[in-house]
């Protein structure tokens, strides 16, 4: 039995499906751990497949590849270097599990399966995995190691079982995606489990973007006395080695190490947007991104995020004025492009508007202009942008925010055209806050310029789609501060009309917003993916029927 252990935390950014590349990442981390004389390296959840692998797990030949790669890597641990607590989808007796595998002395020395499978929000593990039995501890160098996997520590049952089975340290692989409230929730659950079991905990989280999810890392170690011994940086890969000793009371203690302050508030939202976009572009092999830069606040912050994520040379912007585009918007778009250092093209849409007017005149006749002509403008812009995207290979970003997408203030096949939405889960009021924040801050490691990147007039002028003369968003919508509060109540809070009215909103306004929210479901089903920021993002977290008559109850 040893009284000393050296444990390395491998906070990595895997790519879903890239089995060989993901194990190469672990292999590199193991080399670093070996240089630190580590005994054991601990990875995040399902690092071999990437997380979440979703229905890839249902493909037998995918699991064949996983097993072959894991067995090959296990053989390498016969070299006397660190053991590896590796994580992968794993078959056993005809079932597939979310597994932790101890690779030691050239073989798979122990296997444990995730017991509590999350089946809420963005999680759908019951669909693809079998729940494992209550786990007992693994023996490693005479130390009894408990390995609850992610959701297993969100309730007391699995850690309690491990304590009763004699576990001494909890090593927890995690694939815990970011939302604005998640960091505090993780820490609260971890401290609760440490308090209940009297054991220290190593919490290793994934980092990186995967479709609509982004993982913030922020791995940590908590000692049995609740002290935070290690806090890994968030939003980046990290391989951190920690030193452990058995105390006089037989309780293991981490002797401390790196302690980084996690990002909070607007900084964490901005980092999530940036990392989510960067990894979506990089992991899908796009050379860059394309943005319709209108002179408005949404396209400006989208461009800023893109420049920070990819660098100005990989961002291309297009201004597409119509007869209703103000001189201010032309000037503001040009200034924003200059501040960010991006290329800006100018393609007027008047010829397209005239062409459509002529083509449709036999059908429209003398009918008065209405939203139809406004949508034709938006779709003309979408057609131009998609044409440029197809020709250059740059992925088109949409610029609509959560407030607009909530109430359908967007045009299908127009401003909704694109492959990814940076602001999909960001309310309009938060967009304004992010613009002010980015003009004053630039987190380390981002690729854009220091200082102001968004002209002040873009932030202060009244929002407008500029699809008709003197148009303002508030012609069609409540003021954004009121709209966003009502939407948060309806979407994140699932509150009743009466509860929202009690907050000081007019009943007719609340009913109208609810009606618009439900009517726009068909648009949201056709919207591109975008990074999750709140705890209730559109998509897999909020599934409402398109055909839905539960709207008017007042």
Question: Residue 291 is part of a domain; what is its CATH number?
Answer: 3.40.50.620
435 occurs within a structural domain: yes
Domain count, the chain: 2
pTM score of the predicted model: 0.94
Please compute the mean of the pLDDT values over residues 184-211 and round it to a whole number: 96
| DSSP type of residue 226 | S
Active site residue 114: yes
542 inside domain: no
Helix/strand/coil for 149:
coil
Q: What is the CATH number of the domain that holds 48?
A: 3.60.110.10
pLDDT at res. 465: 79
- Domain shared by 445 and 516, yes or no: yes
Q: 25, 43, 45, 489: which is the annotated catalytic residue? A: 45
Q: 338 and 244 in one domain?
A: no
In this prediction, residues 31-42 reach a mean pLDDT of: 97
Whether 549 maps to a domain, the answer reads no
Instruction: Say yes or no: 380 and 240 in one domain.
Output: no
Pick the catalytic residue from 43, 104, 125, 150: 150
Tell whether 255 and 274 lie within a shared domain. Answer: no
Residue 112 in any domain: the answer is yes
Round to whole Å and give the CA distance between 455 and 331: 10
Residues 206 and 236 reside in one and the same domain: yes
Banded model confidence at residue 554, pLDDT cuts 50, 70, 90: very low
Question: Mean pLDDT over residues 214-218, rounded?
Answer: 97
* pLDDT > 50? residue 378: yes
Judge if 301 and 246 occupy the same domain: no
End-to-end CA distance of the chain: 70
pLDDT at 355: 96
Q: Which residues form the domain of 343?
A: 266-524
Q: Is residue 540 part of a domain?
A: no
Q: Which of 262, 293, 328 is the last residue of a domain?
A: 262
Q: Is 164 a catalytic residue?
A: no
Strand-pairing partners, residue 102, are: 85, 110
**Residue 235 · residue 297 · CB < 8 Å:** no
Are 224 and 346 within one domain? Answer: no
What does each C-alpha distance from 215 to 118, 175, 279 come to in angstroms?
17, 7, 11
> Based on the domain organization, do 255 and 290 belong to the same domain?
no
Q: 202: alpha, beta or left, given left = phi > 0 and alpha = psi -120 to 50?
A: beta
Q: Are residues 251 and 270 in the same domain?
A: no
Q: Are residues 206 and 295 in the same domain?
A: no
- What is the rounded CA–CA span in Å between residue 330 and residue 295? 6
Mean pLDDT in residue range 244-256? 91
Evaluate whether residue 538 is within a structural domain.
Answer: no
Q: How many CB atoms lie within 10 A of CB 292?
A: 27
Same domain? 89 vs 196: yes
Question: Is 544 inside a domain boundary?
Answer: no
Q: Are residues 256 and 315 in the same domain?
A: no
**The pLDDT value given to residue 257:** 79
Q: Report the C-alpha gap between 205 and 42 in whole angstroms.
A: 10
> How many beta carbons lie within 10 A of that of residue 118, not counting itself?
16
- Residue 113 domain-assigned (yes or no): yes
Strands 4-11 and 40-43 turn out to be parallel
Q: Which of 114, 182, 402, 523 is catalytic?
A: 114
């Amino acid at each position: 039995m040893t009284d000393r252990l050296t444990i390395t935390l491998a906070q990595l950014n895997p790519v879903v499906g890239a089995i060989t590349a993901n194990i190469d990442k672990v292999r590199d981390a193991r080399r670093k751990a070996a240089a630190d004389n580590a005994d054991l390296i601990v990875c995040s959840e399902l690092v071999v497949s990437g997380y979440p692998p979703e229905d890839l797990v249902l493909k037998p030949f995918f699991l064949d590849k996983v097993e072959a790669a894991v067995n090959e890597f296990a053989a390498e641990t016969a070299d006397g270097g660190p053991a590896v607590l590796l994580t992968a989808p794993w078959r056993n007796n005809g079932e597939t599990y979310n597994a932790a595998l101890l690779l030691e002395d050239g073989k798979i020395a122990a296997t444990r399966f995730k017991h509590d499978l999350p089946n809420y929000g963005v999680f759908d593990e019951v669909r693809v995995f079998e729940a494992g039995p209550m786990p007992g501890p693994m023996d490693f160098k005479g130390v009894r190691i408990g390995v609850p996997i992610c959701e297993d520590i969100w309730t007391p049952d699995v850690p309690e079982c491990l304590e009763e089975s004699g576990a001494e340290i909890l090593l927890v692989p995690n694939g815990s995606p970011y939302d604005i409230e998640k960091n505090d929730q993780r820490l609260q659950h971890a401290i609760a489990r440490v308090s209940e079991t009297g054991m220290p905990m190593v919490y290793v989280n994934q980092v990186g973007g995967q479709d609509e999810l982004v993982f913030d890392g922020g791995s940590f170690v908590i000692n049995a006395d609740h002290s935070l011994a290690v806090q890994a940086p968030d939003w980046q890969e990290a391989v951190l080695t920690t030193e452990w000793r058995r105390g006089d009371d037989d309780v293991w203690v981490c002797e401390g190490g790196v302690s980084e302050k996690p990002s909070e508030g607007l900084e964490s939202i901005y980092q999530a947007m940036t990392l989510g976009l960067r990894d979506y572009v990089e992991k899908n092999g796009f050379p860059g991104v394309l943005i319709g830069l209108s002179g408005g606040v949404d396209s400006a912050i989208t461009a800023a995020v893109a420049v920070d994520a990819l660098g100005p040379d990989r961002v291309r912007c297009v201004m597409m004025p119509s007869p209703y585009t103000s001189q201010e918007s032309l000037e503001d778009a040009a200034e924003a492009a200059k501040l960010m250092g991006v290329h800006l093209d100018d393609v007027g849409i008047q010829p397209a508007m005239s062409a459509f007017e002529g083509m449709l005149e036999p059908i429209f006749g003398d009918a008065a202009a209405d939203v139809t002509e406004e949508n034709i403008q938006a779709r003309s812009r979408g057609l131009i942008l998609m044409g440029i995207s197809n020709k250059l290979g740059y992925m088109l970003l949409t610029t609509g925010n959560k407030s607009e997408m909530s109430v359908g203030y967007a045009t299908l096949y127009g401003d909704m055209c694109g492959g990814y939405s940076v602001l999909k889960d960001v309310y309009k009021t938060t967009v304004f806050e992010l613009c002010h924040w980015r003009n004053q801050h630039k987190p380390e490691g981002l690729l854009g310029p220091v200082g102001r990147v968004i002209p002040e007039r873009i932030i202060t002028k009244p929002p407008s789609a500029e699809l008709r003369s003197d148009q303002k968003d508030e012609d069609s919508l409540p003021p954004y501060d009121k709209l966003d509060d009502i939407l948060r109540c309806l979407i994140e809070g699932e509150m009743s009309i009466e509860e929202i009215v009690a907050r000081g909103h007019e009943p007719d306004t609340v009913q109208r917003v609810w009606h618009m929210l439900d009517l726009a479901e068909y648009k949201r089903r056709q919207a591109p993916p975008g990074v999750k920021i709140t705890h209730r993002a559109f998509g897999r977290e909020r599934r409402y029927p398109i055909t839905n008559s539960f709207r008017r109850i007042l």
